[in-house]
Structure 1
């Protein structure tokens, strides 16, 4: 049965590949990103399965824009993948207030507020998946320059547990995938020359299957998805 899934950060990397995978599987994907051009490219590739919504998830009206689309088309959603993220690689003592604010707004506040805004549009047995990081996984190896990023991702994981508890009576599940290193543009920009053990297409296969069926086995869980340090 076809599902309707919302994916943030869908213009590049993991979000882009996950959106493609879900579309190839026959599901309708509402793809979210600031880049209208890149989202339209996805639409051209999968015209029957991709719905592009160009917006900035940190904008206070972001959730309202998605809600208006769903309400206008009398639609609900079966899954939400909070994939959008930003990483600023900088020593802790050099991280500015603006660096903190940007990473917290994208990595933690936006997922929280979007989930809040969309809560009335989830079908029964829907699945919210937050894409966290091993940097935010308690007890994992930590790396210089990622203090703020890791803090936001750790917060996202805890938020996942809280949402799962609060939405349990609505039959909406919420789980967090803490990814190791994946060979994305964001990773390359933060760590030039790094060679990650996993390609975006590979992790997209896993995430796609997980958002569709992982909630049958997990709820409120923070799950490491890694091959070990640094991945």
Structure 2
């Protein structure tokens, strides 16, 4: 039985991951601005907290919660994400900033808070996007989103190097399009090749076993080219 923290659990891939981990008997701390979807499931071994990853004070409070409620964290999955699809000329500074706060700065602060509770065999999995991979096909309108997803990939590599002696392991999954609510909101009518439950199953398996084989690696998880 592992102690798992997952962000962005109110819908999509994160929502499905919570259910999968719970069904497998693991303890899950589900963090999302809207905790109700998970709370309503009444899953055994699952605690759902209302949590805003863009609010540093809430992340600090989480450290106190972990000291009393969890004490040890085996896996942290930074799944929360913010996507805005808008031409660069129309993109506001606030929208650009929000992408980086949710996709980079928030996860960085959360990792700094959770790391004292993780041991050498722990695993941090950062969920990124194919759009953040250098040399991948890029799409107009995603300048803030894709560049922020590129930043979390680089941060993953750097942290793996910095903690390679003490652990935990750090890896990132650059995923392709998945039929989530966020995708539908950004690109109405686009049909993705994978359902959230399918990607959730893959991420769950990788988070449980991937650190035995990888550290500081960026794995591209996409069945399409591009």
How does the TM-score come out when normalised to structure 1?
Answer: 0.95
Q: Which residue of 2 aligns with 1:216?
A: 212
Deviations 1:81-110 (A, max 9, x none): 000001000011111101111100000100
Aligned: 1:35 with 2:34 = yes
5 Å matches for 1:70-219? Answer: 70-73=66-69, 75-219=71-215
- Aligned to 2:98, the other structure's residue is in SS state helix
For the residues of structure 2 that align with 1:74 and 1:92, how far apart are their CA atoms?
43
Instruction: Check conservation: 1:132, 1:157, Cα contact below 8 A.
Output: yes
Provide the aligned length of Structure 1 versus Structure 2.
226
- 3-state SS in 1 of match to 2:4: strand
1:122 Cα deviation from its structure 2 partner: 0.7
**Distance apart, 1:58 and its partner CA:** 0.8
Unaligned runs of 5+ in 2: none
Give the distance between the partners of 1:50 and 1:229, measured in 2 at CA. 37
Matches of 1:74 and 1:17 in 2, distance apart? Answer: 22
What secondary structure sits across from 1:124 in the alignment? coil
Off by >3 Å, runs of 4+ in structure 1: none
Instruction: Structure 1: give runs of 5+ residues left out of the alignment.
Output: none
